[in-house]
């Protein structure tokens, strides 16, 4: 009863939240309350009616029907069975109308309660509206039939109430059906969004990537178990509490000083910066993990920023493999190539000796050929290693050091060609890059400079800093390149017109590959040149932020 009253007084509880008996009682209640009101009015207007058996029967029936609503276990009956009550309601309404109409006007309008109930129940809407109209018609015609007054004018005169009831029924049913359709749509949408949520949860728990989602204020909304597992490595040994979060061990890959929180990818992303596959080391010692972090913001339905998603993939093993590969390739290209170049150079020199016996000359040719073969193999391995995927992982490097190494590994070849090779570097130039690809660019530029310069000239290798760029320049005083060829030499198989007839070996692939690698690093490669004076190739790569 308390619940019914709450619904009636538009309290916290709503009609659809009641159980079936509650809803049935609630639908019957307005008629009973109005019947009581009718009693009160009759008591004033015409108390004699309380002695009229029809009037009393109507009141008793109304109370009886209310009691039925309360005691019948509607849930156990087929759905819609409760609609018997509003149709039965027409009996007391009809009785009260015929017995008290002379004292009170408009009693036929009491039929509005059962009509609203049947039409608003949403059960077989069209049929119920029709039946409501028919019941109203029966209610107004029945007394005429009973009295035997079948005058057409009297019958037609009674049609206003049934027509009004039909209109009320149609209105109620239209609103109910539309409300029900809306509700089922909302339920469907809710179902769908729940399914999507389950799907998302499953995906997030299945993928091997740590994911954390923050709301627009930067408060954590969600973290998958991989995220918790990966970031466990960053916890100090004695654990971390919310107010000591800043003590988490997060380093930039390649650095030993823990990053202050404002430089964490997460904090920078919250400040509106874009973060794309940056490498961080979590924790110290052998248990440390290296993660590649990408951060993206997302917007709500209105297009406002709603939060941030941070994805961290554990690339510890990949980074270790890349490091091992780089070490191996570095040994290949420097420790291997220099002695091979020496073998080839000296073999050639000895071959020039006129006193050499034919057998020794033939032996030297074998030495020379095999050395060239090994040299070619090293080239092929380096070429293969600077393939597409190797630039995906960028490790901290020093461009100045790479330039010094390139100078060192070409010095024997320069000496052989009678060219002076100088190397100038000015402090460290920290960058993030693919070592193999960058070594390849530098080796290619230096070997071109040597190839296309005459003996007695000079080649300068310089590494310097220019604003946010690490710059490396290779300057020669060789044959130079005509201005119309400057674009072509960076395309695949592009060679300048002047070298094509010279017999200087080359494929025209080196500079195309160099440009591709430089651009993948967010950098550029350019050339300025003058025919007969010399060329300068300049590589610019973004300096790594401290």
Binding site for ligand ADP (CB under 6 A): 444, 448-449, 452, 476, 478-481, 489, 494-496, 499, 506-512, 535
Whether the Cβ atoms of residue 351 and residue 361 lie closer than 8 Å to each other: yes
Q: What does the H/E/C string look like for 447-479?
A: HHHHHCCCCCCEEEEEEEEECCEEEEEEEECCC
- What is the number of the residue whose Cβ is closest to ligand ADP? 506
Whether the Cβ atoms of residue 250 and residue 312 lie closer than 8 Å to each other: no
* Tokens encoding 331: 């040994």
* Tokens encoding 87: 């149709």
Question: Smallest distance from the beta carbon of 350 to ligand ADP, in angstroms?
Answer: 28
Minimum CB distance to ligand ADP smaller for 436 or for 496: 496
Question: Smallest distance from the beta carbon of 451 to ligand ADP, in angstroms?
Answer: 6
Whether the Cβ atoms of residue 333 and residue 409 lie closer than 8 Å to each other: yes
Question: Smallest distance from the beta carbon of 478 to ligand ADP, in angstroms?
Answer: 5
Minimum CB distance to ligand ADP smaller for 50 or for 493: 493
What count of other Cβ atoms lies within 10 Å of the Cβ of residue 457? 17
Task: Name the β-bridge partners of 537.
Answer: 474, 527
Question: Smallest distance from the beta carbon of 437 to ligand ADP, in angstroms?
Answer: 15
Quote the CA–CA distance of 186 and 196 in Å, as a whole number: 15
Minimum CB distance to ligand ADP smaller for 235 or for 509: 509
Minimum CB distance to ligand ADP smaller for 319 or for 489: 489
Minimum CB distance to ligand ADP smaller for 49 or for 440: 440
272: left (phi over 0), alpha (psi -120 to 50) or beta: left
Question: Smallest distance from the beta carbon of 539 to ligand ADP, in angstroms?
Answer: 13
Query: Which residues fall within 8 angstroms of residue 313, CB to CB, at 6 or more apart?
Result: 208, 209, 210, 291, 292
Minimum CB distance to ligand ADP smaller for 236 or for 454: 454
Question: Smallest distance from the beta carbon of 406 to ligand ADP, in angstroms?
Answer: 14
What count of other Cβ atoms lies within 10 Å of the Cβ of residue 430? 18
Minimum CB distance to ligand ADP smaller for 142 or for 379: 379
């Amino acid at each position: 009863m308390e619940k019914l009253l709450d619904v009636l007084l538009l309290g916290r509880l709503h009609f659809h939240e009641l159980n079936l008996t509650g809803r049935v009682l609630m639908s019957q209640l307005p008629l009973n309350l109005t019947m009581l009101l009718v009693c009160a009015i009759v008591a004033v207007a015409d108390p004699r009616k309380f002695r009229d058996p029809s009037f009393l029967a109507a009141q008793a029936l109304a109370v009886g029907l209310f009691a039925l609503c309360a005691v019948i276990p509607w849930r156990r009956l087929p759905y819609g069975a409760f609609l018997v009550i509003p149709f039965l309601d027409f009996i007391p309404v009809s009785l009260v109308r015929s017995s008290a109409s002379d004292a009170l006007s408009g009693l036929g309008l009491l039929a509005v309660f059962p009509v609203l109930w049947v039409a608003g129940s949403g059960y077989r809407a069209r049929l119920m509206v029709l039946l409501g109209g028919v019941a109203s018609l029966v209610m107004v015609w029945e007394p005429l039939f009973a009295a035997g007054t079948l005058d057409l004018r009297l019958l037609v005169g009674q049609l206003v109430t049934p027509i009004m009831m039909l209109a009320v029924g149609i209105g109620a049913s239209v609103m109910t059906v539309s409300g029900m359709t809306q509700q089922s749509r909302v339920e469907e949408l809710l179902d769908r969004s729940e399914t999507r949520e389950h799907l998302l949860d499953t995906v997030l728990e299945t993928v091997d990537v740590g994911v954390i989602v923050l709301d627009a204020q930067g408060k954590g909304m969600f973290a998958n178990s991989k995220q918790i597992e990966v970031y466990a490595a960053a916890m100090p040994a004695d654990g971390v509490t919310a107010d000591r979060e800043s003590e988490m061990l997060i380093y930039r890959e390649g650095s030993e000083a823990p990053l202050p929180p404002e430089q964490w990818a997460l904090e920078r992303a919250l400040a509106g910066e874009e973060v794309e596959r940056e490498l961080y080391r979590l924790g110290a010692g052998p248990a440390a993990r290296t993660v590649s972090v990408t951060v993206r913001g997302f917007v709500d339905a209105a297009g406002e920023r709603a939060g941030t998603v941070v994805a961290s993939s554990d690339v510890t093993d990949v980074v270790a493999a890349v490091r091992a590969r780089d070490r191996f390739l570095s040994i290949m290209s420097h420790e291997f190539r220099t002695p091979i170049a020496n073998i080839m150079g000296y073999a050639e020199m000895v071959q020039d000796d006129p006193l050499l016996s034919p057998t020794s000359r033939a032996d030297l040719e074998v030495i020379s050929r095999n050395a060239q073969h090994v040299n070619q193999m090293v080239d092929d391995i380096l070429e293969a290693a600077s393939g597409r995927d190797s630039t995906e992982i960028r490790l901290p490097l020093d461009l100045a050091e790479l330039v010094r190494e390139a100078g060192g590994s070409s010095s024997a070849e320069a000496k052989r060609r009678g060219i002076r090779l100088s190397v100038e570097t000015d402090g460290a130039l920290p960058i993030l890059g693919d070592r193999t690809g960058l070594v390849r660019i530098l080796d290619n530029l230096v070997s071109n400079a040597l190839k296309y310069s005459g003996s007695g000239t000079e080649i300068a290798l310089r590494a310097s800093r220019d604003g946010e760029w690490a710059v490396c320049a290779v300057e020669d005083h060789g044959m130079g390149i005509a201005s119309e060829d400057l674009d072509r030499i960076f395309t695949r198989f592009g060679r300048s017109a002047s070298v094509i007839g010279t017999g200087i070996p080359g494929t025209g692939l080196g500079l195309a590959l160099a440009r591709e690698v430089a651009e993948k690093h967010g950098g550029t490669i350019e050339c300025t040149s003058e025919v007969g004076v010399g060329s300068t190739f300049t590589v610019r790569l973004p300096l790594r932020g401290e």
